[in-house]
């Protein structure tokens, strides 16, 4: 019996099509290994993210980090920050530490590790290379209409109907 798994598809092209815009980071290079700071054993520090070119009508943002390669049928949500004000176009390094480090009335939804914060990459020892999709979702409403008690799946469901645009950058990690 082989332990190798097929590569999970990039989940974002499977969602309803929306406009794209730009996200950049000093800490995440698209398609390249994450820095030690973004790894669970290296600090659980969320990266600096900066974005521009969001679609007209954007009233708030949601920032997520998702690993589709986790050995589960649902992947693994590392970060879900909701209701970031529309005038914010950057999150500083470490903004994912707590609700107190997010701008305006933004808040975290519990990640799949159970925390209300960013949790770093932590693929199983010896597993394949994992991809970590950092996504800025431009939302057409000032609030997504959820609270911190919902799951990342509920956030994703709401985003399917309220997202105007998506900006994506992804890093990788393996032990």
CATH of the domain at 149: 3.90.280.10
pTM (two decimals): 0.96
Q: Is residue 78 part of a domain?
A: yes
Q: How far is CA 2 from CA 5, 8, 74, 175, in A?
A: 8, 17, 21, 19
* Buried b / exposed e along 118-141 (16+ C-beta atoms within 10 A): bbbbbbeeeebebbbbbbbbbbee
Residue 2 has what pLDDT? 47
In a domain, 66, yes or no: yes
Per residue of the chain (175 residues), give pLDDT as tens: 445 677 889 999 999 999 999 999 999 999 999 999 999 988 899 999 999 999 999 999 999 999 999 999 999 999 999 999 999 999 999 999 999 999 999 999 999 999 999 999 999 999 999 999 999 999 999 999 999 999 999 999 999 999 999 999 999 999 8
Distance separating alpha carbons of residues 67 and 134, to the nearest angstrom: 9
Which pLDDT value is given to residue 36? 94
**pLDDT given for residue 28 in this prediction:** 97
13 located within any domain: no
Asked if the structure places residue 91 within a domain, the reply is yes
Torsion of CA 103, 24, 7, 9, to 10 degrees: 70
pLDDT of residue 112: 96
Say how many domains are in the chain: 1
Compute CA distances 130 → 1, 10, 25, 66, 105, whole Å: 22, 11, 19, 10, 32
Say if 10 falls within a structural domain.
Answer: no
- The total of other beta-carbon atoms located within 10 Å of residue 24's CB is 15
Domain extent at residue 166: 18-173
How far is residue 72's CA from residue 137's CA, in Å, rounded to a whole number? 24
């Amino acid at each position: 019996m082989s332990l190798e798994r097929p590569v999970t598809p990039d989940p974002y092209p499977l969602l309803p099509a929306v406009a794209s815009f730009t996200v950049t980071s000093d800490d995440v290079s698209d398609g390249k290994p994450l820095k030690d700071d973004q790894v669970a054993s290296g600090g659980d520090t969320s990266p600096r993210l900066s974005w521009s070119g969001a679609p007209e009508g954007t009233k708030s943002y949601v920032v997520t980090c998702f690993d589709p390669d986790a050995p589960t049928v649902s992947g693994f949500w590392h970060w879900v920050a909701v209701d970031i004000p529309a005038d914010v176009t950057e999150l500083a390094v470490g903004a994912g530490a707590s609700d107190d480090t997010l701008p305006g009335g933004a808040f975290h939804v519990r990640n799949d590790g159970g925390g209300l914060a960013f949790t770093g990459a932590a693929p199983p020892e010896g597993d394949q290379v994992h991809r970590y999709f950092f996504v800025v979702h431009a939302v057409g409403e000032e609030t997504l209409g959820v609270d911190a008690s919902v799951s990342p799946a509920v956030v994703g469901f709401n985003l399917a109907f309220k997202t105007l645009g998506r900006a994506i950058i992804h890093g990788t990690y393996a032990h």
